[in-house]
Amino acid sequence: MSLHQTQEIAPVSTQHEEMLVAIREAKRSIKRFLDAFAAPKPGQHDFHLKVAFRDEQTGEVEHIWVTDLDLSGDVPCGRIANQPRLKGLSFLQLVHFEKPRVTDWMYRENGHVVGAYTTRALARGLERDTTLHSGLHRRRTVN
């Protein structure tokens, strides 16, 4: 199976339709990432894939950014780019993953982030939550 084929993964740790839409968009547009990764233009760097990892004991799923990618073989691999919550995984650990588990991608191009659909969806959600919280706080204090 090629990396750009989209196969849905098992239930994820998101409750928002917006996050599912972001994952679908990332999977749909993965060719853009693969093309840039295979032949980076000047200014393109810092390539990451977000991969869904599952704790087999608890069933918990965590979506984790992976960097230092090797996509040349049948089973891609890379290093975990942040501190995961799942037991058995750690920062900079080398991990192999199944291609259908890729849920997002990103790279930097001339100082801008390209891709990162799930991160953008999370940021929009946080912005809405902050706005809602601020509005509720103002209402309480205006009495």
pLDDT tens for residues 21-39?
999 999 999 999 999 999 9
The total number of residues shown for the chain amounts to 143
pLDDT, average across residues 74-82: 96
Structure tokens at 86: 């799942």
* β-sheet with 112-115: strand ranges across: 94-96, 77-80, 61-70, 44-54, 102-109, 112-115
pTM of the model as a whole = 0.78
How much is the pLDDT for 124? 78
| Ordered alpha helix ranges (H), the chain | 17-28, 30-38, 117-142
118 Cβ contact list (under 8 Å, min separation 6): 19, 22, 23, 26, 50, 63, 103, 104
